[in-house]
C-alpha cells in the first residue's frame, strides 16, 4: 500500500513539473555567423516603402502653369512698318455721279427720239454701289513697352469706278470717277491683357486709335470735272481698330488689323461737282513691323 502511494506521488510530481514549464522562459541561442539568414539593418530599408507600394498610384495629370509662357514680347524702341490691305469706302456721294450718268443717258435718248429710224435704243451700265480700294501705308513707331506705343505714318488710297453708255449709233462711251487720297496719320496703340481676350496663346491683341489729315493731292477726278480737297489743319477724321500680332520671326512681326474709319473731306471750289465727301469705311490690313 505504501508502495502504491509512493508511485502515485512520483507521477503527480513528474506531470506537474512538465506542464508547469513557461515557454517564454526558454532562451534561444543566437544564429551562427555562417547562417543563411542575414539580418538587414533597419536604416537600409526605405521608410514606409511597404505602405507606399500598397497605396494606389494617382495617375491624374496635373497641367503645368503656363500662364504667359507663350506671351508675345513686343520689341521696344524705334520701329518701322509697312502695311497693305483692303477698304470698303463709305462713299455715299456716288449717287451724284449716278445722277450725272442718268442725265447723260437722257441726252442720248432725246437724240434717239428725234431720229430713231435704223438706230438702236441707248443703254447704260450703273456705277457699283460699293467702292473697293487697296490702300498702302508706311511709317515709324516708338514702342514704349509691351502695352503702349505711338506712331506716325502716311498712305495712299486709289479707287476708280467706270461704266459704259451705248448711244443710238451703237458706239460705247466711257464715263468714270476716281478717288485719290494721301492720308497722314498719328496713332496710339494700347495692348489688351491676355486675360481679357485671347484666341491663341501667342496672339498679342491691342486697340489702335488713329487721327487723319488729308494731304494735298487728295481729289476726285471724273468725266465731268475734277474736285480738289482742302487741307484741314485740325484734321479730317479718325479710325478705331482691333489689331493682333499673329506671327513673329526674329526682328520681324506680322500684325493684322480691322476697324472703321470716318474721314470727311471738303472742297472750297464752288464750281465743282461735290463740295464734300467721305473716305471712311471698313478697313482690313496686314502690317509688317521691323
> What's the confidence (pLDDT) of residue 218?
97
Instruction: Give ∠ CA 7-13-15 in degrees, rounded to 5.
Output: 105
**pLDDT of the residue at 83:** 97
Q: Closest Cα partner for 155 from 134, 179, 178, 131?
A: 134
**Cα separation, 282 vs 96, whole angstroms:** 22
Return the C-alpha cell found at 189.
Answer: 496703340
Whether pTM > 0.85 for this model: the answer is: no
Give the CATH number of domain 79-289; options: 3.60.10.10, 2.40.30.170, 2.40.30.10, 2.40.160.20. 2.40.160.20
The long-range contacts involving 116-122, CB below 8 angstroms and separated by at least 24 positions, are 116/168, 119/168, 119/169, 120/166, 120/168, 120/170, 121/168, 122/165, 122/166, 122/167, 122/168
Split at pLDDT 50, 70, 90, the class of 250 is confident
Rounded mean pLDDT, 156-162: 97
| 177-to-31, 85, 101, 130, 161 alpha-carbon distances in Å | 114, 22, 11, 13, 6
pLDDT digits (tens, 9 = 90+) for 232-243: 999 999 999 999
Residue 130 has pLDDT above 60, yes or no: yes
| CA neighbor of 137 nearest in space, from 8, 261, 49, 272 | 261
Q: What is the pLDDT of residue 201?
A: 53
All structural domains of the chain with their residue ranges: 79-289
Q: Give per-residue pLDDT as tens, 79-128.
A: 999 999 999 999 999 999 999 999 999 999 999 998 888 899 999 999 99
Amino acid at each position: 500500500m505504501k508502495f502504491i502511494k509512493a508511485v502515485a506521488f512520483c507521477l503527480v510530481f513528474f506531470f506537474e513539473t512538465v506542464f508547469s514549464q513557461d515557454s517564454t522562459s526558454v532562451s534561444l541561442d543566437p544564429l551562427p555567423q555562417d547562417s543563411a539568414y542575414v539580418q538587414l539593418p533597419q536604416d537600409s530599408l526605405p521608410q514606409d516603402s511597404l505602405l507606399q507600394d500598397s497605396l494606389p498610384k494617382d495617375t491624374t495629370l496635373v497641367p503645368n502653369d503656363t500662364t504667359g509662357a507663350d506671351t508675345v514680347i513686343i520689341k521696344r524702341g524705334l520701329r518701322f512698318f509697312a502695311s497693305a490691305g483692303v477698304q470698303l469706302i463709305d462713299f455715299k456721294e456716288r449717287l451724284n455721279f449716278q445722277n450725272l450718268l442718268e442725265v447723260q443717258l437722257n441726252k442720248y435718248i432725246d437724240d434717239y427720239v428725234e431720229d430713231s429710224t435704223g438706230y438702236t435704243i441707248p443703254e447704260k451700265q450703273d456705277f457699283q454701289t460699293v467702292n473697293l480700294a487697296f490702300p498702302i501705308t508706311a511709317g515709324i513707331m516708338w514702342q514704349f513697352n509691351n502695352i503702349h506705343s505711338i506712331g506716325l505714318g502716311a498712305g495712299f488710297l486709289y479707287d476708280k469706278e467706270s461704266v459704259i453708255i451705248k448711244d443710238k449709233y451703237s458706239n460705247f462711251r466711257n464715263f468714270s470717277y476716281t478717288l485719290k487720297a494721301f492720308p497722314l496719320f498719328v496713332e496710339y496703340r494700347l495692348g489688351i491683357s491676355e486675360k481679357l481676350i485671347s484666341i491663341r496663346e501667342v496672339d498679342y491683341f491691342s486697340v489702335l486709335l488713329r487721327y487723319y489729315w488729308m494731304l494735298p493731292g487728295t481729289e476726285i477726278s471724273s468725266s465731268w470735272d475734277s474736285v480738289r480737297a482742302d487741307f484741314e489743319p485740325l484734321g479730317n477724321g479718325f479710325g478705331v481698330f482691333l489689331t493682333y500680332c499673329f506671327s513673329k520671326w526674329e526682328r520681324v512681326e506680322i500684325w493684322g488689323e480691322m476697324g472703321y474709319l470716318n474721314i470727311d473731306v471738303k472742297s472750297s471750289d464752288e464750281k465743282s461737282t461735290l463740295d464734300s465727301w467721305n473716305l471712311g469705311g471698313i478697313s482690313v490690313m496686314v502690317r509688317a513691323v521691323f
